[in-house]
Homo-oligomer: A and B are copies of this chain.
């Protein structure tokens, strides 16, 4: 429910306007020397107010560790942490106390629970993803050698057409939209500014590439590596689709075009499989793509209903993202890191594959 993972497990709590968010990491190996600056760096990549194309809510998103770490190293026991909320403006949400915002979780939470913390969306707020960054930042530090890179691959109908192999991931952080192609990034930023000025929002996609993943991660049948990546990614607020390898394009192809032929060393000439075969990593790059819908809160007047079932007019207030994609990039990486580590810790692959190459 509020837990992700089986071996490396993150359990979380927190509402947008409560006193703090936080979580507990269970199953973290002992003796890991943590780089706390790196953890904060990842939080900063996600935090609100980082640029003029994201929400202007101001939060330092400072994580405070309460247990599981002794003299800078993990002890193998559960790691508790909190991230205080600093800049709640709950009054911004007074206008929705009794109103259900269209395409939000307001209505379904009220129906399911009979009660909801309406302030900032309560538990349904994407503020929760700050917790995931903490879990993912620690996982990244344990997964030495594996490279995890996500980037913005489209905003609206503006697509970064280059394949990931042609990109320089070191440029992802060189612009505020997190697209590693400067020219396309400029266009995307302009697009988001236009949308925001119109009081509107826009969707987009994030692509993620995992390099140097060991062979053998993933479990047959129901815990295939891509199925677990998919579940994790579909849990991100606003995600409407997940594809890996050839994805939806692959559904148009023939077998003779789609098969990845082997080289003598077990690598493959093409990689439409996306680094996973039979649910198990094959050592090639793993890549996948996520669709994000446009943020539901727009600054235009819309009709909606209140708790009496009356049609009322409302207009977004508060501080919202015109496009979630730039801030989603580190979230995707964090989840990918946690899913990978979960499988690495389980790892039941044999040392001896019986292969002579």
Contacts and interface: CB of A to CB of B under 8 A. Distances in A.
A250 to B, nearest CB: 4
Interface string A69-106: 01001011111101000000000000000001011110
A66 B79 contact: no
Contacts of A19: 64, 66-67
A105 B279 contact: yes
A68 interface: yes
Contacts of A264: 305, 309-311
Interface in A282-299: 282-283, 291-298
Contact of A1 (B15, B22, B27): B27
A228 B233 CA distance: 11
A20 B252 contact: no
A274 B115 CA distance: 24
B76 A22 contact: no
Interface stretch (A36-44, A50-58, A141-149, A347-355): A347-355
Given A75-B115, A116-B70, A241-B247, A303 B261 contact: yes
A291 B248 contact: yes
A108 interface: yes
Nearest to A325: B251
Contacts of A224: 234-235
A269 B80 CA distance: 37
Q: How large is the interface on A (under 10, 10 to 19, 20 to 34, 35 or more residues)?
A: 35 or more
B30 A114 contact: yes
Given A13-B67, A24-B11, A353-B114, A201 B293 contact: no
Given A2-B24, A2-B222, A258-B103, A108 B281 contact: yes
Given A114-B352, A234-B224, A250 B203 contact: yes
A122 interface: yes
Contacts of A252: 154, 156-157, 203
A107 B354 CA distance: 11
Contacts of A187: none
B262 A100 contact: yes
Given A66-B14, A260-B103, A240 B231 contact: no
Contacts of A202: 253-255
Given A13-B66, A224-B234, A264-B309, 19 more contacts: A2-B77, A15-B67, A19-B67, A20-B67, A22-B67, A23-B24, A77-B113, A104-B278, A108-B282, A109-B220, A111-B215, A111-B349, A201-B254, A201-B256, A203-B254, A226-B234, A251-B293, A253-B294, A308-B357
User: What are the 5 A-B residue pairs with the smallest beta carbon separation, nearest first?
Assistant: A105-B278, A309-B357, A13-B80, A241-B243, A201-B255
